[in-house]
Amino acid sequence: MEVTVSQSGDFGVTTGSQLVTVPISGSVTLTVATVNDSTDEPNGSVTVTVDVGSGYTVSQSAGTATVAVDDEDPAPVVSKPSISVGDATAGEGDGFVSFTVEMSGAAGGPVTVYYSVFGGTAAAYGDYLPEWGQVTFATGDTSQTVQIPLIDDSARGEGAETFWLRLRLFDTAYATMEDGLAQGTITDND
């Protein structure tokens, strides 16, 4: 008798019609070999259908057999770009300190980074405005700027003063944080 082998997926199965000899006992085992590869792919199935022919009758309830084939290959590891920020310096008369937030490569989707300012030797509301907010990298962007406003005071001889900028990722689906802490230095202009 003839059977037709088909597959849903790509498992290296020899498909199409095959001739099967059934002994007098009335049953036969048909082995359909699959190919084990290292490619991650969706699960699928292999189906064998007994074709209508002469000299035998095909059962409507048992004329087809389907076996699920599970792909056991691990999903590929997708590396994510990393976020970092470097230290920045500005004179108190410059109006702001600009921090460059960089991503090591383009991400597969938008990446939102929250920032906040804290501590150091500079005085909040006396030397700088302690801002917080966010920057968003659109798909393909690799650089953003965070600007922290400075206050130009008239104090003399105060020397360089510092504060800190801290970054936090909203979601790690498309990027990771490598270095989320940077020092801002304000140089005196009096």
Beta carbons within 10 angstroms of residue 138's beta carbon? 11
Burial (CB count within 10 angstroms: exposed 0-12, middle 13-18, buried 19+), residue 59: exposed
What pLDDT digit, counting tens, does each position of 45-56 carry? 888 888 888 777
d(CA 5, CA 47): 6
Instruction: Give me 56's structure tokens.
Output: 């035998």
Residue 22 has pLDDT above 90, yes or no: no
**Average pLDDT over all residues of the chain:** 88
Q: Give the residue, 166 or 8, on which the prediction is more confident.
A: 166
What is the arithmetic mean of pLDDT over 26-47?
82
- Among 130-134, 168-172, 185-189, top mean pLDDT goes to 130-134
pLDDT confidence bin for 151, thresholds 50/70/90: very high
Tell me, yes or no, if the pTM score tops 0.75. Answer: no
What is the arithmetic mean of pLDDT over 155-179?
90
What is the arithmetic mean of pLDDT over 4-26?
81
What pLDDT digit, counting tens, does each position of 96-120 carry? 999 999 999 989 899 999 999 998 9
pLDDT confidence bin for 71, thresholds 50/70/90: confident
Residue 132 has pLDDT above 90, yes or no: yes
d(CA 135, CA 155): 33
pLDDT confidence bin for 190, thresholds 50/70/90: low
d(CA 72, CA 142): 35
Of the candidates 164, 142, 134, the one whose C-alpha atom is nearest the C-alpha of residue 82 is: 142
Residue 75 has pLDDT above 80, yes or no: no
d(CA 102, CA 82): 8
Structural domains of the chain in order of their starting residue, each with its CATH number: 2-69 (no CATH), 82-187 (2.60.40.2030)
